[in-house]
Structure 1
Amino acid sequence: MKPSRRTYHEGSVAVQIRVGVREAAEHVGRSVGPDIRPVAAAFLALQPMLVIGAADKAGRVWSSLLTGAPGFARATGATTVLVVGGVPAHDPLGTAFPEGDRTPVGTIALDPRTRRRMRLNGTATPGPRGLSIDADEVFSNCPKYLQKRELLGRDDTAHSGTPHHGDRLTPAQRSRVRAADTFFLATLGPDGTADASHRGGNPGFVQVVSPTELAWPDYRGNAMFLTLGNLESDARAGLLFIDWDTGTTLQLCGTARTHYGDEARTVRFSIEHVVETEGASPLRWSPPEFSPAHPG
């Protein structure tokens, strides 16, 4: 199977050429297709959480966390997935899926217990049971930069708090970002498609430049450069930080640009909107076992 034109648009190709991984990217791209294979369907059905990325009605890009009992996100056909319950109304993406419309989405199912992840991009349509997603791209990534965590349990007595909105990080939020070892990143392609990806590193790998600006290194990955490729043509992005102990989420919306050095790349993110929701997730996770792939 040849990589589809959808998989590598001009932005991704430009980054691949610049970094010198075009041939490797072509090889990796052969595994991308719309089919949800049995092993992928089985993996998805075991997951208690799913990260989804999309643009809201105002065009702002967000990355959101969805949770449920295993099976709440499951394959319902060779190229379709049902996410029971959809996106909560209080979430920034709560109104991003109008009835009768097909909205581009990127999703990533990440299992900290096994350090495995699966990405599925396509279009979502709301229905009586939740979101139905028609897949265009389904693929897995290696466990590089993923922290291992055990699921300690669910706190189903806790209820998601009222989201707190702002346009800059508070001191407590800045401390949380500095301590983070994982975050999720949503971007849009030049054709309006959406993608959701993962970034991981040792605590401190995300630098708080100011209350309205973050920076992080772009580590060597799978050579596809889907995220950086998207940012070449559309700077809009959404970040999601999860407090694995308490379930609190921190969602940031803004724009991102990649700065290329002689041997390294750095992404700088300008914050426009901040949403913090206490107890957004009922899942409680153990402290991390850090990936051995992290630089330094």
Structure 2
Amino acid sequence: METPETPFHPGEITVQRRAGVLDQAGHVGRSVRAVIPPVAARFLADRRMLVVGAADGRGRLWATMLTGRPGFLDAPDQRTLTVAARPVPGDPLEEVLAGPAKVGTIALEPAGRRRMRLNGRSRPHRGGLLIDADQVYSNCPKYIQRREVLDRPATAADPAPARWGTSLGVAQQLRIATADTFFIASADGPGDTDASHRGGNPGFVEVVAPDRLRWPEYAGNNMFMTLGNLEDRPQAGLLFPDWETGTSLLLSGTARVDWTAPQAPAVDYTVDSVAELPTAGPLRWSEPEFSPANPPVVRSGRTR
């Protein structure tokens, strides 16, 4: 666990030292708060989506997306976030979020390339969630693809049932291989959870096999909260949203960080469980305007 002197736990500090950014991380870490400042509360109030990461009853980590109209996220005070949404039926986190849970969240604004993370403890509240904040901080706009919300509701009255598996089907592999965005949930040893964003040009996530993925960890804010969690606990949940259909592809598995890769660090991910939620949300988004920060995709020593 972090101490009053630093917001970082030992796994994060180990990774920061390995990457040679311990001093830089200490400086950036001063932005991590235990309260929601007014500017963050206003940002949250305008959002349409919130990614939530948590562990299910079997200890598997998942990341899922909750959506709503502006105002579905509200910070009634500096320590509390209310969420007027719950997971759809069949979501791997439906049951665990029906009770108290440690959660990590990230609110994303693709149109303005802004994001904010809030981690803490949730409990059911008026058909949604109430989250007591432990960590609140913003991230830089790097690697966020600009998209505008189209708000085209799904035509089906009820979402199709979840499709489960232990490896990726051909269509799922294609979706991941062409993805420009995904979200990752991770946790430290005691279970304190974080949700983070990953973006890049299509192809930055490599499908190595039906149960194996690989991606480079592009330079960020030097806090290494995700990799620090993986240092303590290899379990991780991934969310690949389909921006055109509202379908969510959720993966749970384990991750290993490769510090010897040409694009080090890189993450090798082994899929243990797959849950596909067709038309999980009503939001539809425009075609992306790729971030100018996205590096070229490198595969097998070749750049493309």
CA displacement at 1:192 relative to structure 2:
1.2
Partners of 1:14 and 1:160 lie apart in 2 by 43
User: Equivalent residue for 2:35?
Assistant: 35
CA displacement at 1:3 relative to structure 2:
7.7
User: Equivalent residue for 2:121?
Assistant: 123
Q: Deviations over 1:161-205 (max 9, x none)?
A: 110000010011100000100000000112210000000000000
Q: Go from structure 1 to structure 2 and tell me whether the alpha carbon gap of 1:27 and 1:6 turns closer, same or farther (over 3 Å shift).
A: closer
User: Equivalent residue for 1:200?
Assistant: 199
CA contact 1:89–1:95 (8 Å) conserved in 2: no
Q: How does 1:1-296 map to 2 (within 5 A)?
A: 4=4, 7-99=7-99, 101=100, 103-158=101-156, 159-261=158-260, 264-296=264-296
Tell me the percent identity: 53
Worse overlay, 157-166 or 269-278: 157-166
Q: Deviations over 1:109-160 (max 9, x none)?
A: 0010110000000000112331110000000000001000011223154442
Give unmatched runs, 5+ long, in structure 2.
297-304
Q: Go from structure 1 to structure 2 and tell me whether the alpha carbon gap of 1:54 and 1:6 turns closer, same or farther (over 3 Å shift).
A: farther
AA at the equivalent of 1:249: S
TM-score by length of 2: 0.93
User: Equivalent residue for 2:302?
Assistant: none
CA contact 1:3–1:29 (8 Å) conserved in 2: no
Partners of 1:54 and 1:61 lie apart in 2 by 6
Q: Go from structure 1 to structure 2 and tell me whether the alpha carbon gap of 1:4 and 1:250 turns closer, same or farther (over 3 Å shift).
A: farther
Q: Deviations over 1:5-31 (max 9, x none)?
A: 673111110110011100110011101
CA contact 1:3–1:32 (8 Å) conserved in 2: no
CA displacement at 1:98 relative to structure 2:
4.6
TM-score by length of 1: 0.95
Q: Secondary structure at the match of 1:285?
A: coil
Give unmatched runs, 5+ long, in structure 1.
none
Q: Secondary structure at the match of 2:151?
A: strand
Q: Secondary structure at the match of 1:198?
A: strand
Partners of 2:263 and 2:86 lie apart in 1 by 42
AA at the equivalent of 1:259: D
Partners of 1:143 and 1:3 lie apart in 2 by 28
Show structure 1 runs of 4+ deviating over 6 A.
none
CA contact 2:97–2:124 (8 Å) conserved in 1: yes
Partners of 2:4 and 2:271 lie apart in 1 by 33
Partners of 1:70 and 1:201 lie apart in 2 by 27
CA displacement at 1:263 relative to structure 2:
6.0
Q: Deviations over 1:214-250 (max 9, x none)?
A: 0000111000000000000100100000110111110
Q: Go from structure 1 to structure 2 and tell me whether the alpha carbon gap of 1:77 and 1:129 turns closer, same or farther (over 3 Å shift).
A: farther
Worse overlay, 278-287 or 3-12: 3-12
CA displacement at 1:73 relative to structure 2:
1.4
CA contact 1:239–1:253 (8 Å) conserved in 2: yes
CA displacement at 1:89 relative to structure 2:
3.4
Partners of 2:273 and 2:194 lie apart in 1 by 20
Q: Secondary structure at the match of 2:250?
A: strand
Worse overlay, 263-272 or 241-250: 263-272
Worse overlay, 68-77 or 238-247: 68-77
CA displacement at 1:64 relative to structure 2:
0.4
CA contact 1:52–1:66 (8 Å) conserved in 2: yes
Aligned residue pairs: how many? 293
Q: Deviations over 1:17-70 (max 9, x none)?
A: 011100110011101111111110111011111000000111110000101111
Partners of 1:6 and 1:77 lie apart in 2 by 24
Partners of 1:164 and 1:155 lie apart in 2 by 21
Partners of 1:30 and 1:6 lie apart in 2 by 8
Partners of 1:161 and 1:26 lie apart in 2 by 46
